[in-house]
Amino acid sequence: MVNKRRNWNKYLLGTFIFVVLFSGNSFSQQKAIAVIDTPAKTVFIDNLDAVYVLTPKDELLKYDTKGALKWRYSNNRYGKVKSIDVTDPLRVVIFYADFQQVVVLNNNLSQIATYSFAYNSNLLVSAIAVADNNAFWIFETTSNSLIKLSSDFSENTRSANLYQLFDELVFPKKILVANQHIYLQKPNNDVLIFDVFGAFLRLLSLEGLADFEIHNNKLIYMAEKKLHLYDLNSQKVSTTLLPVGVEIKQVALGNKIIAALTEKGVFLYPAN
């Protein structure tokens, strides 16, 4: 009887209506394509609509759009995963901050490169993001600055000392590169926006923001059980109510699919 109830609950969750406003289109009465019932801390979608799930044990799992597991990767030598960047599906970047270690994976989640910032005594890196042309942006703590690194990890560009700009030390929760801009999330969840040369442009302070991603020139975040889309051009915010009774921790948006992370697993929905 218990198993029957669990299966029925899963069925109900898998068929609830997911209403979301994205890229000017309305998606209503959509049923889940699939449910990934693996416990997860976070979820990502790359530009080919592959779905990545990071488990509580820091194992990275890669699924196709139908929720079928394709590849997996784990590495317990470098401590906890600080961040994962799937901007380039052929170069998935994992950063282990405690060991100052970068691991690069191919599209099969096979390790193809590693780099340790620990070898450079002048660097103490707290965040990293993938940039164009196999480059990276990092945040260097001792100089309190953003640094662009070439594909060989040599320095290319450096921002001003952010302490001089804001009269406070900046400790980023994460950095993200999109649309020829760098986005830095502060501990208080304000977002600093920089241009491709590391010059500061503006600050966003969005109520309720705890995490975000950039898609189609919109900054997307969850707040008060609503999906918020902040248009980076018009600077207007649109919101959509999420399903009542289902706690969604995070939403990842792809080109054709949407992933909703809940305590029950990751639900995949069509985006059109």
Residue 261 covered by a domain: yes
What's the token pair of residue 165?
């700009």
Q: What value does the mean pLDDT of the chain take?
A: 87
Question: Residue 30: its pLDDT value, please?
Answer: 63
Tell me the mean pLDDT in the region 168-176.
95
Inform me whether the pLDDT recorded for 20 exceeds 50.
Answer: no
Question: Residue 244: its pLDDT value, please?
Answer: 36
Q: For the chain, what is the largest distance between any 2 Cα atoms, rounded to a whole number of angstroms?
A: 64
Residue 64 covered by a domain: yes
Phi, psi (rounded to 5 degrees) for 209: -65, 130
Residue 3 covered by a domain: no
Residue 192 covered by a domain: yes
Residue 10 covered by a domain: no
31 vs 268 pLDDT, higher one: 268
How confident is the model over 212-232, as pLDDT tens digits? 999 889 999 988 888 899 999
User: Whole domain around residue 109: which residue ranges?
Assistant: 18-270
Residue 7 covered by a domain: no
Q: Rounded to whole angstroms, how far apart are CA atoms 262 and 54?
A: 13
Tell me the mean pLDDT in the region 208-213.
93
Provide the CATH number for the domain around residue 253. 2.120.10.30
What's the token pair of residue 42?
């976070």
- How many domains is the chain partitioned into structurally? 1
Residue 136 covered by a domain: yes
Residue 23 covered by a domain: yes
**pTM strictly above 0.75:** yes
